[in-house]
Structure 1
């Protein structure tokens, strides 16, 4: 394949440009800071142009199992995104992107996606209250993102537990992103990038860990080259542990990812993978919040022990990808995914909230997903300018069935946490489905990135989504009102767009501006069914479906990016404002299906700063801080106007440092900060009587390379044993508890 082959889009992206890139209110404060960064670094730097005709790759010390998307020699810095629709490196993309590499993940000691994401600036967690399922629920810049989770560029079905054992990196795009993601993505989207089979070399890495709270973890990562055209890779996981200082709450997970790559011809590459995961937990149900006094009893926990409190999740997902080089300038790629996930739970918890006393939450959900995405990528010089055009077609079929469990309680013995007594003693049975959602979506999109000259590059994209929505609900009785079996059906379509411009008169930096939109449909959160206040389908006051327009969000962002220190360090700063119009609001009874349609409006604005890579040859860092403000601008209830968003932290920051003290010893730590969080339901305004305090958590780690094959790593999480809380129920009464202090030691052997 020639050096100008389309498969090398990112590495040759500047050939046509003729030079090489080295890759009061929060808004007013941020503008001054962003300008200062630009002015300080700009100087009189303007390198002479260098024409890159070919790309020559010499000998390299990069290991075959290294992250292919990271900057060589800077493991904390991602160079590019995995999704080929993002045709420029991160340093040249006019959008805020937080990317966590596999080295950053490993050294942090965090193994669950929710723990890694909740530590990132601008991201908080939601709770599994009665209106939505228990599982990983993310809120990005104040907006729900639990359905905006993708793996390798395709939507991931279901609300399940997600692990990191088979990930190369985690990519978080900030701001409305519907041109790439489709429906949703108001605050952003999360894309997990899996480890792929490689033709570079054979390798096997075994890792085992032991720690406090009965922590046990083992992983296997092995790649085998079958012949010159075929390679396979296998990742395995087993982990079991008590939740730190919250036993008898436990987590048990097993997983596998097998992937293969086959070079069928010089121009056709076939890739496939299959992912299996099982989680069998006795969940930590949280602790009690007295919303009258604001007192949180951090040592109060209730977990059933006779098999009656549980959460079981499972995923089986297969993906097939075809890459065809039609010419040196045109490439076709097709991805197909077929997957199913399930999430079953019975969770008991003591609450001092609206009802008080011992409460139980039960539910089951089964999700089946079929998705296909086709991209035609054209990268060529047209009319004297380089164009990188993406024309795409996408189809998705999502089916979600949900129901609950019946629990027969023989006796109730309420005891505080860490005792041998059971909260629930009795039996349970799984009930028939109560809802079923079928959602078909067809999407078309067109994007183009145009290099105008040495200093200017523009991006534009449009996407149209058309969907058929069908929700079946069984006969149900809620608070004395019986609703007969009902089927709700409607179809609609929406158009979104995304535009950006990058101005780069400096050799190492640029400034950019972008404008993007997104749409949320009525009932778009599959796990919420008819719970209007949590993203489920909203009906009118008589319980009849009334056609509501999609909610519309618009994001404005200006920023600057600097790729310095021989491209080993990336600095970013961005000002943003996201406005959401036509908000579909739940009424005062947020558990009901009734709502107020297209009556709300809210806004989130602020500044986000980032740093990733090597500060010095020995010191690496991943840093981010978000300073934000949220406000309800319009609502059916005037009392909501002016209120901030619920489950929203005005200020948040994360810093991970790594220092190579000696050729064999590296030490580091992580600091995570979050300001106060207030309770309330999404998009309705926060409650000032339900508050979680701010917190700062410190983690430490040390890594020692014994020899070329053997390495050790020690992690201490929550060094000061800080009591902190990550999410609160809408009505108060129950809060989720952050992990207490824990420690573990891992040994890795590569051969």
Structure 2
């Protein structure tokens, strides 16, 4: 709640307050990382009251009151100011925006956002959620509550308060990677404010059914527990028997030790049993898209995800101006799949093939942050200092499939007979351990009423070890191999905000990021897909981390009595010392630190209340990419692959009456050319996806005080569109066809 605790720019913040249970819960779980640092008048924290009304206990604590599409702040303590005062492009999808969109998994939500495209799975990297932000791989740059979340798995939204997308290199905040940006999911926390229970049920076309539970219970005066649960299943619209079936829960608890110390814990359980649809294919000679039905086989095809993740957080106020936050997470994720396909290569055309893989991730992380806010040399300083430890262990392998009864496919023939062969899980083909120790320091200084500057540095030191057991490939035998190396790198960011106006500012920022050799854990030693790259003889050869630099200038304006945020930014990302895959992406040999590429663009954003009755969120990105240097001179000048130069997403809701609302969304993407990450788009541009525009509609009706209905129509015009393309063209993921659903929500 942005109006609970506010301060003048000239005054240091007193972090400790004589607050009771209700206020501390909200302050800790939502806003002491941001709302306590950048407003205009100090107010009492005696109650959670906004304009005389009690905030609902299950409300998103980061959103602007009465403007649910607008988020005020980030959940991460390292962001010391509100979003409107942070010199960086940030898109936040609030709980209301997510729920009303009708989209229920992170992949579909993010794929609609401007500047974000999807990648496909294939033999070189796993099937699963794979994001590309501003043209740069981001499948490992996914966080939950500020800690990196391992594993290429399906991510659901049933237990989220908001999704935060930061754009541009962000290693100072997130560590390795984050070239194009990062995605942080913010989970629902146990509330000390009140008891509540929300029940939700959805029925729809394509055999869709979805049920969720969100219940919170206050125990005594100083503890609370919250339980979010999900069961969901559906056929993929017009692509059955491709389908999805998910179940999971998030159990969280919080305990107030005293008015200055809060301990929270949560456990996340998730299981998914899906049948992936690899979609249509592209004729390599003409570039024409060839329609085909779902090509998987019953009894063979599957993709199973598992996640078990536990987190413990301690939040303490050591003095009036000093806050300590410590987070510890242990998690295990699994991703197993067999996915059938038709081979698009002419000499294999219409032959059945399978992609197989399994991956087990084990993660241990600890992050300790100190936040100090006060006067230093006569100026207000907000200092964040922290250390972080992370250990990831990733075992990966594949399956053997008995193909004696494989069959020739045609473009119109689907073999849905029960698979009569057999398959077996093979031993691990790679075993990776990646240990990282990090330290960082940042400061945001208020120079005067008009100027504020910020800067930060981070050092990451990692130890990398991958063991590859002996194997045979393409007639060649390879012995047991153990790759070991360690390195470290510095990253930084500088920003300045100039705000002589009451409701607006302009800003400039510079930031960097670093990617390590082999940083994509799902790719093993497939160099061209982000796996470990070696020299031509298969021996590890020292490769410097890839370096990225971002320059951005922009402006942010608080309109409509701070109910509407308007943002605009010009940016340029340059990635240097790029590790290229060489001529064979499936092998570990590559061309080390030989590439360089660049992305330039403009991004616009709008979120909040446009009028008293009309609210919405809009984002638009127009970008240009170019390969500047490469081991292969033919690549120079080519645009990036898997990259949409223009993209737009708009979602709006109009309150026809106080109880009835109509809304809709539009998603637009320009064409996307296939290819490998950082290798440039295909020279002939035959492997490409056409541009598309998709429209959605929704309506909400408050039947009684505790009961409401929501109807959604996705892809109203039943547009045929494609969201991702594999470099060879035999995988082009199909966007969902039209679907209709009705959701009933009961609150008590």
Q: TM-score scaled to structure 2, two decimals? A: 0.94
Structure 1 match to 2:336: 344
Find 2:699's aligned residue among 697, 702, 720: 702
Structure 2 match to 1:431: 426
Structure 1 match to 2:236: 243
1:375 counterpart = 2:372: no
- Answer yes or no: is the 8 Å Cα contact 1:439–1:469 preserved in 2: yes
Structure 2 match to 1:404: 398
Q: TM-score scaled to structure 1, two decimals? A: 0.93
- Answer yes or no: is the 8 Å Cα contact 2:251–2:268 preserved in 1: yes
Q: Which runs of 5+ in 2 are unaligned?
A: 14-37
Within-5 A mapping of 1:5-84? 11-16=5-10, 52-55=41-44, 58=49, 59-84=52-77
Supply the distance in 1 between the matched residues of 2:410 and 2:187 (Cα, whole angstroms): 43
- Secondary structure class of the residue paired with 2:538: coil
Within-5 A mapping of 1:666-677? 666-677=661-672
Within-5 A mapping of 1:445-460? 445-460=440-455
Supply the distance in 2 between the matched residues of 1:706 and 1:188 (Cα, whole angstroms): 41
1:689 counterpart = 2:686: yes
- Secondary structure class of the residue paired with 2:556: strand
- Answer yes or no: is the 8 Å Cα contact 1:553–1:581 preserved in 2: yes
1:481 counterpart = 2:473: no
1:719 counterpart = 2:731: no
- Answer yes or no: is the 8 Å Cα contact 1:257–1:274 preserved in 2: yes
Give the direction of change, closer, same or farther, for the CA distance of 1:507–1:417 in structure 2 (3 Å limit): farther
Q: CA deviation at 1:422?
A: 3.2
1:85 counterpart = 2:74: no
Supply the distance in 1 between the matched residues of 2:204 and 2:627 (Cα, whole angstroms): 45
1:511 counterpart = 2:509: no
Supply the distance in 1 between the matched residues of 2:275 and 2:336 (Cα, whole angstroms): 12
- Secondary structure class of the residue paired with 1:425: coil
- Secondary structure class of the residue paired with 2:626: strand
Find 1:384's aligned residue among 378, 385, 389: 378
Q: CA deviation at 1:477?
A: 2.1
- Answer yes or no: is the 8 Å Cα contact 1:677–1:693 preserved in 2: yes
Give the direction of change, closer, same or farther, for the CA distance of 1:422–1:350 in structure 2 (3 Å limit): farther
Supply the distance in 1 between the matched residues of 2:489 and 2:599 (Cα, whole angstroms): 23
- Answer yes or no: is the 8 Å Cα contact 1:15–1:52 preserved in 2: no
- Answer yes or no: is the 8 Å Cα contact 1:143–1:186 preserved in 2: yes
Supply the distance in 2 between the matched residues of 1:596 and 1:190 (Cα, whole angstroms): 29
Give the direction of change, closer, same or farther, for the CA distance of 1:87–1:400 in structure 2 (3 Å limit): same
Q: CA deviation at 1:289?
A: 1.5
Structure 1 match to 2:611: 616
- Secondary structure class of the residue paired with 2:216: strand
Find 1:625's aligned residue among 615, 620, 641: 620
Find 1:742's aligned residue among 736, 739, 743: 739
Give the direction of change, closer, same or farther, for the CA distance of 1:248–1:427 in structure 2 (3 Å limit): same
Structure 1 match to 2:284: 291
Structure 1 match to 2:23: none
Supply the distance in 1 between the matched residues of 2:134 and 2:225 (Cα, whole angstroms): 39
- Answer yes or no: is the 8 Å Cα contact 1:246–1:418 preserved in 2: no
Supply the distance in 2 between the matched residues of 1:419 and 1:556 (Cα, whole angstroms): 50
Within-5 A mapping of 1:658-669? 658-669=653-664
Find 1:313's aligned residue among 305, 308, 313: 305
Q: CA deviation at 1:415?
A: 6.4
Give the direction of change, closer, same or farther, for the CA distance of 1:508–1:570 in structure 2 (3 Å limit): same
Find 2:357's aligned residue among 352, 356, 363: 363
Within-5 A mapping of 1:558-597? 558-597=553-592
Supply the distance in 2 between the matched residues of 1:451 and 1:333 (Cα, whole angstroms): 24
Supply the distance in 1 between the matched residues of 2:8 and 2:208 (Cα, whole angstroms): 48
1:178 counterpart = 2:171: yes
- Secondary structure class of the residue paired with 2:592: strand
Supply the distance in 2 between the matched residues of 1:270 and 1:342 (Cα, whole angstroms): 29
Q: CA deviation at 1:676?
A: 0.3
Q: CA RMSD in A?
A: 1.8
Give the direction of change, closer, same or farther, for the CA distance of 1:443–1:659 in structure 2 (3 Å limit): same
Q: CA deviation at 1:590?
A: 1.2
Give the direction of change, closer, same or farther, for the CA distance of 1:338–1:418 in structure 2 (3 Å limit): farther
Give the direction of change, closer, same or farther, for the CA distance of 1:568–1:417 in structure 2 (3 Å limit): farther
Supply the distance in 2 between the matched residues of 1:600 and 1:372 (Cα, whole angstroms): 34
Q: CA deviation at 1:448?
A: 0.4
Find 1:520's aligned residue among 515, 521, 524: 515
Give the direction of change, closer, same or farther, for the CA distance of 1:653–1:726 in structure 2 (3 Å limit): same
Supply the distance in 1 between the matched residues of 2:549 and 2:333 (Cα, whole angstroms): 32
- Secondary structure class of the residue paired with 1:411: coil
- Secondary structure class of the residue paired with 1:107: helix
- Answer yes or no: is the 8 Å Cα contact 1:623–1:654 preserved in 2: yes
Report Cα offsets for 1:658-711 as digits up to 9, x if no partner: 000111111100000000000010001001121100000000000000011000
Find 2:318's aligned residue among 306, 319, 326: 326
Structure 1 match to 2:526: 531
Report Cα offsets for 1:357-406 as digits up to 9, x if no partner: 22200000000000000001101111211100011000000000001111
Report Cα offsets for 1:246-296 as digits up to 9, x if no partner: 000010000100001100122110000000000001111222221212221
Give the direction of change, closer, same or farther, for the CA distance of 1:539–1:711 in structure 2 (3 Å limit): same
Give the direction of change, closer, same or farther, for the CA distance of 1:353–1:612 in structure 2 (3 Å limit): farther
Supply the distance in 2 between the matched residues of 1:638 and 1:650 (Cα, whole angstroms): 23
Supply the distance in 2 between the matched residues of 1:325 and 1:595 (Cα, whole angstroms): 50
Q: Which runs of 5+ in 1 are unaligned?
A: 1-6, 20-48
- Secondary structure class of the residue paired with 1:264: strand
1:279 counterpart = 2:272: yes
Find 2:646's aligned residue among 624, 630, 651: 651
Supply the distance in 2 between the matched residues of 1:490 and 1:412 (Cα, whole angstroms): 43
Report Cα offsets for 1:399-425 as digits up to 9, x if no partner: 000011111134234466795633843
- Answer yes or no: is the 8 Å Cα contact 2:240–2:294 preserved in 1: no
- Answer yes or no: is the 8 Å Cα contact 1:303–1:422 preserved in 2: no
- Answer yes or no: is the 8 Å Cα contact 2:493–2:510 preserved in 1: yes
Supply the distance in 1 between the matched residues of 2:154 and 2:302 (Cα, whole angstroms): 13
Structure 2 match to 1:41: none
Q: CA deviation at 1:610?
A: 0.2
Structure 2 match to 1:254: 247
Give the direction of change, closer, same or farther, for the CA distance of 1:425–1:182 in structure 2 (3 Å limit): same
Give the direction of change, closer, same or farther, for the CA distance of 1:17–1:730 in structure 2 (3 Å limit): farther
- Answer yes or no: is the 8 Å Cα contact 1:124–1:140 preserved in 2: yes
- Answer yes or no: is the 8 Å Cα contact 1:395–1:442 preserved in 2: yes
Q: CA deviation at 1:650?
A: 0.2
Structure 2 match to 1:33: none
Q: CA deviation at 1:301?
A: 2.4
Q: CA deviation at 1:298?
A: 3.3
Supply the distance in 2 between the matched residues of 1:647 and 1:658 (Cα, whole angstroms): 31
**Residue range with higher mean Cα deviation, 151-160 or 413-422:** 413-422
Supply the distance in 1 between the matched residues of 2:474 and 2:572 (Cα, whole angstroms): 40
- Secondary structure class of the residue paired with 2:402: strand
Matched residues, number: 715
